[in-house]
Amino acid sequence: MSSAEAEVTIDPYAAVVGQDDPVARLQAAARQPVHAYLLIGVPGSGPLAAAHGFAAELLTAGLTGDAAARSTELALAGTHPDLVTVEAEGAALRVPEAEFIIASASTSPVEHLRKVVLIRRIDVIEEEAVGKLLKIIEEPPDSTIFVALASELTPELTTIASRCVNIEFGPLSATVIERQLLAEGVDAEKAELASSAAGGDLDRARLLATDAAIANRAELWRSIPTRLDGSGHAAWDYTQRIRSALDEAAEPLERRHGVEIEELDRQAEELGERGLGRARIVASHKRELRKLRTDELRFGLATLSRVYRDRLLEGSNPDAIAAIERTQFTSEELIRNPNEALLLQSLLLDLSPNS
């Protein structure tokens, strides 16, 4: 290899968009790392990509040339032998996962000086698992560094967060997301609509940009105030139409999931271990689908709220303030994982004339 080729380096944070301050903190931390870090931010705003970049820096320390490039590439792909990734198998991070984390953190690195334990979605941790993890996170072996991800700092996470360096990732602005989509070759009209509907999540924006029906779904929500006539039938009909639209919105993600499962099966067959990791991947896919439907509902409710806000500014609807408040309440209720059909019907009945 020539000296020019040897100087080529990989930017471990190239996949992180619009998060200069958190990235700068991680770059500084990599020079003198401590035992644990908690990266807090909306999924799709950069924490996972930054965690892989940080892991790459930690696992490549002291390496040069081909060895450094290989280590970086493996860490960024999540396949480095000294990068252990743990995620809740179900809705919560439970004691069995905590015990696996402890066991993984307690073993020596395979290839180099350090081991990184990456814990995804630690904000869904159960109280019993918190008790299990506190000591190992506070005092891990010298060669182990914890990097945990959370979408928010929940009360259950407070004790763990107090033992970590906390680094926050704010939601990406629609402008940043739109600019990135345009750079990736997305049509300008699709980029604008997808960025406005993404809720600060670049991953969701990329998915929406491949969704030809997003404009139709936005129009469906905008038409609600003019179509509700005070009858239960109208509320029921729009509930069904919205849920059908949610099903259609999930189709691009489900296609991607199908490709991922096919690839997993292909790799497992080549290794002679069919089904390797399949249960974890399927559980992850289910979580992604739940999140997509929730995000889609938030997008729709925000679209509906803007219609009432415009009516309020025009002075054309005396009930607009109550409608905005009711729509906002419904959006907040999504955190409780309510029955989707009942939630929508209740909202639409309340928004109906003379309700």
Given a contact cutoff of 8 angstroms between Cβ atoms, the answer to whether 93 and 126 are in contact is yes
The total of other beta-carbon atoms located within 10 Å of residue 67's CB is 13
| pLDDT value of residue 5 | 44
Give the residues of the chain that fall short of pLDDT 50: 1-7, 275-276
Own/partner contacts of 270-279, CB < 8 Å, gap of 24 or more, are 279/89
Question: What is the distance, to the nearest Å, from the Cα of residue 326 to the centroid of all Cα atoms in its chain?
Answer: 27
Three-state secondary-structure class, residue 234? helix
Look at residues 296, 343, 307, 347 and name the one whose alpha carbon lies nearest to residue 326.
347
pLDDT in tens, 102-152: 999 999 999 888 999 999 989 888 888 899 999 999 999 999 999 999 988
Sheet of strand 36-41, all strands in order from the earlier edge strand to the far edge: 83-87, 115-120, 144-150, 36-41, 165-169
What per-residue confidence (pLDDT) applies to 86? 93
Contact 143, 113 (CB under 8 A): yes
Check if the beta carbon of residue 92 is closer than 8 Å to that of residue 59. no
Using the Cα atoms of residue 127, residue 133, residue 135 and residue 139 in order, give the sign of their dihedral.
negative
φ/ψ of residue 125, rounded to 5: -70, 140
What was the pLDDT predicted at 273?
Answer: 54
Predicted pLDDT of residue 285 = 80
As a whole number of angstroms, the distance between CA 212 and CA 181 comes to 15
Model confidence over 327-348: pLDDT tens digits? 999 988 987 888 999 999 999 9
- Topology (CATH level 3) of domain 3-169: Rossmann fold (3.40.50)
Q: How high is the pLDDT of residue 276?
A: 47
Domain coordinates in residue numbering, the chain: 3-169, 211-351
